[in-house]
């Protein structure tokens, strides 16, 4: 590999399915099933090939398919479902920095993602995309001594290059009041090659306590390559946790959630949060009631260890923390 050639994960990312015809052909969808797809949706298709390879052929009833492929259902208007359910723009301190909770701020490092979840609560967010410069945001963090934790989010922060991430971590290292840096990412689920040697070196060299949180909703998303990539992070002494979203037709049954928790724990990943759906426009077909959600958590409490049971939560705009439902 030459010095100027892109890293392996960038090359793999270029194989993502972004055109419905190519994906439909790959999945061998019948003409009848193709009529269920939403063609040219506002939030475009973006699906890593390795996840597409896990999808059952010629069916709409696959948990990975349902999460990532736009269907006609998301074009329906449903009362109560809005463009920005968490009102994130009201918490902006700078163009890229959100300050929602005491002691921690969220840096929207990029608008880019490794994949596009159809239920994404931030799919309509007006990101600042003109520049990757973080000077204004970092200056605000330096001046706000009430902060002790920075959450790297987006988009997906692992969409940034390693030099860009290294620059951010070097800046954080100069800030004594920042004790923790947290990643919120789904990248390893779709492109585990992103956890490369250069990225691991950035984590290893940081003086901050790092928390690494992935997003996985179904055990089918996990495999030996994904867990092996996460194990490299764990070996640096970095806690790895998972947050999931409860989705109708994807993981709203007892055995799926139990299998997910057991698979995560077996890989050294602790279940952290199980989010009820944020009511973003076009996601009504994913809704699961609070009553059913509590039943599922109670089932997990009876059938697995306490550390394998995620907290069931809802995010309420303006609240001082996540609302814990059970």
Query: Are the beta carbons of 219 and 260 closer than 8 angstroms?
Result: yes
Q: Please give the domain boundaries of the chain with CATH numbers for all domains.
A: 8-75 (no CATH), 88-324 (3.20.20.70)
Q: Which of 276, 268, 265, 278 is nearest to 309 (CA)?
A: 265
Query: Are the beta carbons of 313 and 273 closer than 8 angstroms?
Result: yes
Lookup: tokens for 283: 């996601």
Q: Which of 140, 158, 130 is nearest to 99 (CA)?
A: 140
Q: What is the DSSP string of 111-180?
A: S--SS--TT-TTTT-----S----HHHHHHHHH-TT--EEEEESS-GGGS-HHHHHHHHHHHHT-TT--E
Lookup: tokens for 35: 């009529």
1-50 tens-digit pLDDT: 455 789 999 999 999 999 999 999 999 999 999 999 999 899 999 999 99
pLDDT of residue 245: 98
pLDDT of residue 3: 55
Q: What is the pTM of this model?
A: 0.96
Which residues in the chain come in under a pLDDT of 50?
1
Q: What angle do CA 229, 233, 236 make, to 5 degrees?
A: 145
pLDDT of residue 1: 47
DSSP one-letter code for 6: P
């Amino acid at each position: 590999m030459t010095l100027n050639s892109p890293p392996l994960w960038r090359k793999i990312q270029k194989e993502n399915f972004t055109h419905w015809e190519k994906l439909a052909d790959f999945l061998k969808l019948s003409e009848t099933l193709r009529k269920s797809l939403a063609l040219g949706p506002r939030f475009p298709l973006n699906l890593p090939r390795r996840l597409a390879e896990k999808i059952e052929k010629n069916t709409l009833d696959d948990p990975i398919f349902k999460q990532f492929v736009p269907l006609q259902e998301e074009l329906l208007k449903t009362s109560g479902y809005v463009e920005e359910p968490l009102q994130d723009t009201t918490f902006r301190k700078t163009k890229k920095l959100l300050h929602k909770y005491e002691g921690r701020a969220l840096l929207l490092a990029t608008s880019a993602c490794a994949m596009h979840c159809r239920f994404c609560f931030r799919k309509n967010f007006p990101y600042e995309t003109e520049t990757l410069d973080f000077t204004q945001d970092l200056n605000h963090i330096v001046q706000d001594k009430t902060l002790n934790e920075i959450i790297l989010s987006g988009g997906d922060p692992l969409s940034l290059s390693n030099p860009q991430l290294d620059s951010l971590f070097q800046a954080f290292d100069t800030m004594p009041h920042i004790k923790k840096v947290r990643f919120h990412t789904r990248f390893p689920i779709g492109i585990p090659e992103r956890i490369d040697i250069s990225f691991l070196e950035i984590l290893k060299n940081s003086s901050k306590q790092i928390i690494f949180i992935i997003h996985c909703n179904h055990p089918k998303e996990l495999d030996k390559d994904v867990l092996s990539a996460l194990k490299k992070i764990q070996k640096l002494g970095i806690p790895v946790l998972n947050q999931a979203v409860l989705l109708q037709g994807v993981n709203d049954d007892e055995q799926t959630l139990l299998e997910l928790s057991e698979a995560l724990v077996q890989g050294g990943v602790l279940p952290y949060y199980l989010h009820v759906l944020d009511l973003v426009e076009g996601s009504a077909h994913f809704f699961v009631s609070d009553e059913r959600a509590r039943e599922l958590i109670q089932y997990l409490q009876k059938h697995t260890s306490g550390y394998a049971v995620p907290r069931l939560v809802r995010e309420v705009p303006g609240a001082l923390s996540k609302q814990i439902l059970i």
